[in-house]
Structure 1
Amino acid sequence: MSFTVESIKAQEDECVLPSFDSNVAWELGNIIRTNCKQKFTRPVVVYIAHANSSQLLFFATSGPGTLPDNMHWVKRKEAVVLRWGQSTMRMRLAMTEPGKSVQQSLKDKFEMSDPSIYGCHGGGFPIKVKGVEGLVGVIVVSGLAQEDDHAVIVEGIKEYLAKTQ
């Protein structure tokens, strides 16, 4: 699939949950983890937290072999979703400028002295609930190619929604 800002925005609009609590986080996390184990040999971290408090609701690896670097990426991706309320893949596409790194684009556009706390790489996704303004949570996957990190989250949310409707 070819990603565009518009196609990612459409995914975000489609992936709105009817509700969200620790039970939903558990179900979503398990769906994503299971899909990662079935589709990929590389280990990943699956992380789901509340947006307002960063309270951790789900954390698991898909298998042995993740590294401390995965959590570094998780926190950087989470920071993007929490600050801008959109997926890290959409933010990456929006910040891509010819001749500039994404980090330099962030630094220039938002006048940041240190954009390194943000990771505009696929794999961070906002959790939104129908009828609720703003974010209620964030899902992050780290360990695959950024397109796969993003896609496995979207597929997991769609699978969850299909079960609940």
Structure 2
Amino acid sequence: MALSAPSTNPQALIAQEVSPEQTFTTFTASTAWTLGNALRERILSLPEGTRRPSLINIALATATSGGLPPHVVFQSATESGTIPDNENWVRRKRNTVLRWGVSSWAMRQKNVSALAAGATADEVEAAFVKKFALASANGGAVADDYAIHGGGYPIRVRGVEGIVAVVVVSGLKQEDDHQVVAETIRDVIAKGN
């Protein structure tokens, strides 16, 4: 089954992310397992031409000390063909969600809406790097530690302030990375998980 197109309105995206349909009642390792497996099944069910090998990662939003990486509670490749660069995209998308508290797609749309109509992808990236004074090893338009590409999504729990975890998909087109997470979270919550 094909994915619907995600919104490009940043306010609508953020409202969706904090809606009851996107807010869990609890979030445990078992919830992450259910969500991660549902994402894998959903990606594998995408129509030919849409589906590509993807990496799914769910990590808790807890702070770590001594430079330790986030606590990953689920990770899986959907099928053969993912590459080590998928890990880098996961890290950068997760960092974006943790820093700004919204999906990496919503951050992209916020930056797109702040630019003149018809801005190129490179211009959007460069404006993001400049606006937030982000490090770019090559001095270019790409931030070393953040990515404003769809696929990083906040996990919220009713009654808990802030984000408790981040789910990231890397491998599909960025709008599909975002939408498969949004739709699957909605479906898992609707089933009572």
Q: 2:165 aligns with which of 137, 147, 150?
A: 137
Q: Percent identity between the aligned chains? A: 40
Map Cα deviations across residues 90-144 of structure 1 (whole Å, 9 max, x no partner): 0001112235623322222222343321110000000111100011000000000
Amino acid aligned to 2:26: S
CA distance in 2, matches of 1:19, 1:127: 10
Q: Which residue of 2 aligns with 1:35?
A: 42
CA distance in 2, matches of 1:25, 1:59: 9
Q: Which residue of 1 aligns with 2:128?
A: 106
Amino acid aligned to 1:5: P
Structure 1 residues without counterparts, runs of 5 or longer: none
Structure 2 residues without counterparts, runs of 5 or longer: 64-69, 137-142
CA distance in 1, matches of 2:144, 2:51: 29
TM-score normalised according to structure 1 size: 0.94
Larger radius of gyration: 2
CA distance in 1, matches of 2:32, 2:86: 20
TM-score normalised according to structure 2 size: 0.81
RMSD, aligned α-carbons: 1.5
CA distance in 2, matches of 1:18, 1:162: 11
Structure with bigger helix share is 1
Task: Please say if 1:159 is aligned against 2:181.
Answer: no
C-alpha deviation, 1:23, in angstroms: 0.5
Contact 2:135 2:145 survives alignment (8 Å): no
CA distance in 2, matches of 1:163, 1:83: 30
